[in-house]
Amino acid sequence: MSKSSPPNNTGTAKEGEAKAAAPKRSLTPRRRAREYALQGVYQSLVVRRAGSLPNAAAIAKQLAEDPAFKRCQLDLFQGIFAGVLERTDELEALITPALDRPINELSPVEHAALLIGTYELAADPSVPYKVAINEAVELAKTFGGTDGHKYVNGVLDLLAQKLRTTETQAN
């Protein structure tokens, strides 16, 4: 589930080679954990939409096979991934009133980013609400559609006002 850029047919061959050889972006262990959590939640949503029950252990095992997985903050990944899967119905009940469409019409990437952002807002007060929103928006920018991150931002901003009233009013 990686996002790739469309081929660039302009410029010289050397420019194309330089772009291909450019190092991948550097991710913090926390960002990497959230990205793997998004991929796992995405897989579970796709399986669920197909009418089956997701196997969290199998999904986590498959994600852990990626060599880069060892560079993620494991406890954060496990907390978010397991927390979202355990509380999906509760999280969706929180999200649904803030949506302008049925939740099953969201793209699976934006749906997963909203679940993760809502989980962090609702279940982890150690994460500042602005960080929870920003991280979910960044996930949607990286893996989602062109403007999906704007939608994720708007929905999570509404939810933060409800779930983190004291914190949002202090700003």
Q: Where are the domains of the chain?
A: 26-170
pTM of the shown model: 0.84
What's the CATH code, domain 26-170? 1.10.940.10
79 CB-contact burial (10 Å; exposed 0-12 / middle 13-18 / buried 19+)? middle
Return per-residue pLDDT of the chain as tens, 171 residues.
Answer: 444 333 333 333 443 443 334 345 678 999 999 999 999 999 999 999 899 988 999 999 999 999 999 999 999 999 999 999 999 999 999 999 999 999 999 999 999 999 999 999 999 999 999 999 999 999 999 999 999 999 999 999 999 999 999 999 998
